Amino acid sequence: MSLLVLTLLALATRVSAVPKAEPKETGCFLNVLGNGDMTSLFLNSSRKFPNPNPTYGTALVTFDENETLYVACPNVDPEWKYPLVPDGEEAKCVANTTIYALTSNKTLDFYSLLCVQKFRPYFYEHFSSAKCEFNFTIQYIAQKIAGEDVDIITLCFDKTQILPLYAKYTTNKWSANFVYYNPNINFSYVPDSLFDDLVPWRVYAQTKQTMENLGVFGYITDDVYLVPGQLAAYDDFLTQFQRDSTFHYANAPFQWNTVNSGNWKNVTSSIQWLVTEGIDLGDVTLLSGTLRIASLPNKGGRPVELFLSGDGRMPVPGWFWKLMIARTPQLAVVFFVYNNPYVEKSVVDEEFKTICKEDVLDILSWATVDNTDPKAGFTYACAVGRDYMVDETMREIVNNALDENSLVEVPSFRLAEAVKMPDGCYLDVVANAPSAPLVVNSSLQFPTPIGAKTTQVFFAQGETFYIGCPGGSFNYLLLADGEPALCHQDTTISTIKSQQIVDFNQVYCTLDQRLRPDLFEQVSDDGCENGGKIQSVGYSIDDQWVETYKICYNPSEMSILYVKYVTNQWMDDLKDYDPNEVPRVWSGIFQNDLEQIYNTIQPRIENLGVVGYITSDSYLAGGFLAPYYNFLSPFQRDTTFDMANAPLQWATVTAGNWQAMEDSMQWLLTMGKDFGDVTILGGTLGVADLPDSDGNPVDLYLVDGNLLPVARWFWKLMLSPSTSSGILFFVYNNPYVAKPQVDKEFSTNLCVDNVLGDITWLSGIDNLNPYSGFIYACVLDVSNIINPTMYEIVHNLLQKEGLTRVATNFNITRV
C-alpha cells in the first residue's frame, strides 16, 4: 500500500497558552529575545539553536547548573567592545542569568552581553560534497560559531541555471515569539559562489530591459514587477540570527511582487498559523521551492521563457511550492502558487493537473488564499504520498522527503477529527465589500477576527448576533435597519424577525448613496475632561446603539477636545473601500451651520484683521482625528466622515507631519507587532493666533470672535494596554511660526522631554519645514506632562487601565 500522509483537513482549534511557572531554584534561564535585536546568539551543548522551555510559555531557555552552552556575537561591531570572543566560545551555566565563559575566563550576566553587529544580514555559507536531486549542489546557509558550522537552511541549487530547486529547514511553534523583528534589511549574497559571475541586485535592476531584449514588452510596470521571493521565510525562525540568514539571494528567486504580497504570503502565513497557534506539531520540516520556468508572450504572441541574466540564466520560476511535513503527529501537505499574474485561471488549472492528481485546497479551511485575482497567484494544494505527484521532479522531491522523515505507516484519521473546527459560523465580515453587511456581536460590538491572517469572525452554534444594512437594502428580505440573527453552521445563519435562512456569503448590502453614511450622533450624560460633554457617533441597529467612536467637546467654545476609539491590527485588511465615495456629514454638534462656516473660512479670518495667510497652497480644511483607515468595517469607516471629527487644520500640516505620523502608527499597529486592542485619542489643544496688520496676535475664532477656534496644536495618543506601551504626539498647527518659538512653547507648556528622536519606527517626518507642522513626542507619564488638560486626560486614561507609565519605543525599527 502506498503511503498517503494525512492532509490537514480542517481548521485547527485554538489552544490557550501554557500557564507560566516560576523558574526552578537552580540552573540558568536565558531569554532568546531578552535584549531584543541586541541579544547574543547562544546554542546548547549540541551546538543547536535551543527551543524555549514550554513550562514557562515564553522564549525562556533553561540550562542545568554547569551545563555547557555556546555564546557569540557574529560580525560584531569592533567599536562595541564585546566582552567575550565574538565568534563564539564555550560557557557554563552558573545560576539564573549568570554564565561563566571559559576562553575569556569571565563570569557575567548574560543580559549584559549586548550584541551589535557591524552590518546585517550576516551569515556563513559552506558546501557539501554530497548532491541533492538531479545531482544539484547542496549549500548550507549557516553561522560559524566557535569554529564549527551551525546550519540553518539547506539549499538544493541548480548552478547551471542559477536557480534554487528548494530550501529545506525546520520550524516549530516558537517562531511566533519574536514580535520585535524588523525585516527591512537588504538582501545579501556571497560573490563567486552560487552566482558565478553574476551580481543578483544588478540583474534585478535590469529586469525590465532584459525582458524587452527578449521581445517581451509591457509586463513590468510601476505596480507589477519582480522581487526576491523568500523560500525559507524569515518569520519561520525564532532568533534574529536565523531570520537574517533568509536574506540571501540564493534563497530568493524571482517572484512577481503581487504574488509575493498575495497568495505566497497567504500560504506562508497559513502554515505559520497552523504550526504556531493551531495544534502542537513539534518540529516541522519545510521544503520551499520552485518548479518550471515562467513565460510571457512576445509581440507576435509566441511564449518566451524568462531568463533574466542576459545570457540564459537566472530564470523566473513558473511555480513556487511549499511542502510541510510533521512527523508527530504525521501530517503533510504541499501548496503550489502560480508565479505569473498574466495568465487566466482556466489555463493554470489545466497545468496544475500535470503536477498533482487532485487539488484539495477547498478542504483546508485553515488556509486563507485569494483565488479570484490572477495577480495574487492562483494557488492549489496536494495531498502528500509516495508517487502521488504527477510531475516527475516533484515526485522525486516528495518521495525523498518522506524517506528522510521515516514516514512508513498510514496515519490514523482519528487525528483529523481532533483538528476539526469548532461547531459554529465562520463569517468573513468584509469579503463582500463594498457590499458587506454590518455585523456586530450580541454586545453590540464589532467582532474581532479569529486570527491575524483572516477577516473571519466566529459565532458558536445558536449564538445571537446582529446584522443590518443602515442606509441601504439587502438582496434578501432581511431588515435593513438591523435585526438579531442566529448562527447555524459554517456560513448558514437565520434572522429572527424576518425569519430568513440564508448563506451569509450570499448576503449583499447595497447602500443608497443619497443616505450614506446613515450615521447617528448620540449625546451622553457622561462628561469628559475640561468640563466637556461626550457625543457618541455610530449606528442604530434594531433600535439599539452601535458605537464607532466618542467625541469629547466643549459646547460653550464650540471646540473638539478629542475623539476616542479602539483599533487593532485588522484595520488595514479592508481592500475594497473608496473614501471618495463617502459624502461629508455636517454635524449638528455645535447647533450651528458647520458647512456654511467651513465654506467661508477666508472671509471670517480676514474679518479678524488677519490678511494674506490663506492662499491657494496654504489654507484651512478639516483634519480628521479618527482617520477612516483605522477601522476594518466599511460602516465604521463611513462614520469618520462626520465633520465633528475634523477640526480645522492647515492643509500643509495635514499632508505633512500629521499624515507621516498617522502612516507610521498604522504601520506599527498592522506590521510592527501584535499590540492587541489599542486605544487611540486624537485631539486638539489651545487656540492658534496670527498677527494682524499692526503685528498684534489675534486668536483665530471663526464665530463671534470667541467660538469655534482654529486649534493651536493637534495631538494623537496611542495606548496598548496588553503590552503596556504607548506614545503621545503633538503637531503644531501653524505654518507661519519659526521652530525655536515652537520648541520653547512645547517644552514650557506641554511636556518636559521631547522623545521624538527615540522613536525608531517613525518615518517620513520633516521637522525643518514649518509648513509640515513641527512634531514632538512625549512619554505617557503624568510626571512628564505640563499642560493641565493633557495631564488630566493622560491620568484618567492610565488610571482606567491600571497603569502609571508605559513603554515608548517598543524596540521596533522601521527602515
Q: In angstroms, what CA-CA distances link 45 with 63, 68, 516, 629?
A: 10, 5, 65, 49
CB neighbours of 794 closer than 8 A, spacing ≥ 6? Answer: 717, 728, 780, 781, 782, 785
Q: Is the pLDDT of residue 23 over 60?
A: no
**pLDDT: which is higher, 713 or 513:** 713
Q: Is the dihedral of CA 55, 57, 58, 59 positive or negative?
A: positive
* Residue-level pLDDT at 16: 27
CB 314 within 8 A of CB 283: no
Is residue 676 located within the same domain as residue 743? yes
Q: Is the pLDDT of residue 539 over 50?
A: yes
- Residues 813, 626, 266, 410, Cα dihedral to 10°: 100
Alpha-carbon gap, residue 141 to 149, rounded angstroms = 9
Binding residues for Mg(2+): 260
Report, in this order, helix, strand and coil percent for the chain, each rounded to 5.
25, 30, 45
CB 264 within 8 A of CB 270: no
Which grid cell is 6? 494525512
CB 529 within 8 A of CB 793: yes
Print burial letters for 325-353: b (CB count within 10 Å at least 16), e (below 16): bbbebbbbbbbbbbbbbebeeeebeebbe
> Could you tell me where the beta strands, DSSP code E, fall in 33-86?
41-43, 60-63, 68-72
Q: Is the pLDDT of residue 41 over 90?
A: yes
Is residue 495 located within the same domain as residue 594? no
Q: Is the pLDDT of residue 24 over 60?
A: no
Residue 541 lies in a domain: no
CB 91 within 8 A of CB 100: yes
Q: How many CB atoms lie within 10 A of CB 612?
A: 10
> Domain end: 412, 443, 474, which one?
412
CB 262 within 8 A of CB 341: no
Q: How would you classify the pairing of strands 509-511 and 501-503?
A: unpaired
> What amino acid occupies position 2?
S
* Residue-level pLDDT at 778: 96
Which grid cell is 409? 505507516
Longest Cα–Cα distance in the chain: 97
CB neighbours of 142 closer than 8 A, spacing ≥ 6? Answer: 123, 124, 125, 126, 149, 150, 151, 152, 245
pLDDT in tens, 237-250: 999 999 999 999 99
> Domain end: 412, 432, 459, which one?
412
* Residue-level pLDDT at 777: 96
Instruction: Check which CATH number belongs to the domain holding 277 and give it.
Output: 3.40.570
Which grid cell is 534? 461626550
| Angle made by CA atoms 143, 144, 145, in degrees to the nearest 5 | 105
Establish how many alpha carbons lie within 13 A of residue 104's alpha carbon, considering only the half-sphere containing its beta carbon.
Answer: 21
Mean pLDDT of the chain: 88
Is residue 704 located within the same domain as residue 794? yes
Print burial letters for 511-522: b (CB count within 10 Å at least 16), e (below 16): beeeebbbbbbe
Residue 806 lies in a domain: no
> What amino acid occupies position 26?
T
pLDDT in tens, 410-464: 343 233 333 445 679 999 999 898 899 999 999 999 999 887 667 889 999 999 9
Structural domain harbouring 738:
556-800
Q: In angstroms, what CA-CA distances link 675 with 69, 717, 756, 797?
A: 33, 14, 20, 17
pLDDT in tens, 50-61: 999 887 767 889
Going by pLDDT thresholds of 50, 70 and 90, the confidence category of residue 10 is: very low
CB neighbours of 481 closer than 8 A, spacing ≥ 6? Answer: 468, 470, 540, 541, 542, 543
Q: Is the pLDDT of residue 5 over 60?
A: no
Query: Which residue, among 393, 264, 367, has the nearest Cα to 322 in the 3D structure?
Result: 264
Query: Which residue, among 417, 383, 388, has the nearest Cα to 6 in the 3D structure?
Result: 383
Is residue 382 located within the same domain as residue 456? no
pLDDT in tens, 339-366: 999 999 999 999 999 999 889 888 887 8
**pLDDT: which is higher, 419 or 1:** 419
* Residue-level pLDDT at 7: 32
Which grid cell is 243? 531570520
Alpha-carbon gap, residue 289 to 291, rounded angstroms = 7
Domain count, the chain: 4
Alpha-carbon gap, residue 772 to 654, rounded angstroms = 8
| Angle made by CA atoms 635, 470, 522, in degrees to the nearest 5 | 80
Query: Which residue, among 327, 453, 337, 318, has the nearest Cα to 384 in the 3D structure?
Result: 327
Q: How much of the chain, in percent, has pLDDT values that exceed 70? A: 92
pLDDT in tens, 58-76: 788 999 999 999 999 999 9
Is residue 402 located within the same domain as residue 294? yes
Alpha-carbon gap, residue 121 to 182, rounded angstroms = 12
Alpha-carbon gap, residue 460 to 442, rounded angstroms = 12
* Residue-level pLDDT at 760: 86
- Which residue, chain included where needed, has cell 529586469? 207
Is residue 490 located within the same domain as residue 570? no
The pLDDT of 778-794, averaged and rounded, is 94
Q: Is the pLDDT of residue 12 over 70?
A: no
Is residue 370 located within the same domain as residue 228? yes
Is residue 188 located within the same domain as residue 46? no
57: left (phi over 0), alpha (psi -120 to 50) or beta: left
pLDDT in tens, 173-196: 888 877 667 777 888 766 557 888
Q: Is the dihedral of CA 169, 173, 178, 183 positive or negative?
A: positive
Residue 815 lies in a domain: no
Q: How would you classify the pairing of strands 707-709 and 711-720?
A: unpaired
Is residue 451 located within the same domain as residue 388? no
Q: Is the pLDDT of residue 546 over 70?
A: yes
Residue 141 lies in a domain: no
Print burial letters for 7-16: b (CB count within 10 Å at least 16), e (below 16): bbbbbbeeee
Is residue 339 located within the same domain as residue 454? no
* Residue-level pLDDT at 452: 64
Q: In angstroms, what CA-CA distances link 9 with 6, 160, 416, 503, 677?
A: 8, 39, 6, 22, 31
CB 307 within 8 A of CB 223: no
Secondary structure class of 347 (helix, strand, coil):
helix
> Could you tell me where the beta strands, DSSP code E, fall in 542-626?
544-554, 559-567, 620-622
The distance from CA 401 to its chain's CA centroid, rounded to whole angstroms, is 32
Which grid cell is 363? 478542504
Residue 745 lies in a domain: yes
**pLDDT: which is higher, 259 or 722:** 259
Residue 305 lies in a domain: yes
Is residue 396 located within the same domain as residue 474? no
DSSP states along 191-214:
TTSTTTT--HHHHHHTHHHHHHHT
Query: Which residue, among 187, 192, 193, 202, has the nearest Cα to 232 in the 3D structure?
Result: 187
> Domain end: 358, 385, 412, which one?
412
Alpha-carbon gap, residue 49 to 454, rounded angstroms = 31
Print burial letters for 790-808: b (CB count within 10 Å at least 16), e (below 16): beebbeebbeeeebeebeb
Name the range with the highest mean pLDDT among 88-97, 378-387, 572-581: 88-97
* Residue-level pLDDT at 332: 87
Going by pLDDT thresholds of 50, 70 and 90, the confidence category of residue 544 is: very high
Residue 653 lies in a domain: yes
CB neighbours of 46 closer than 8 A, spacing ≥ 6? Answer: none
Residue 466 lies in a domain: yes
Binding residues: 260
What is the chain's length?
815
CB 337 within 8 A of CB 320: yes
Alpha-carbon gap, residue 538 to 657, rounded angstroms = 29
Is residue 562 located within the same domain as residue 701? yes
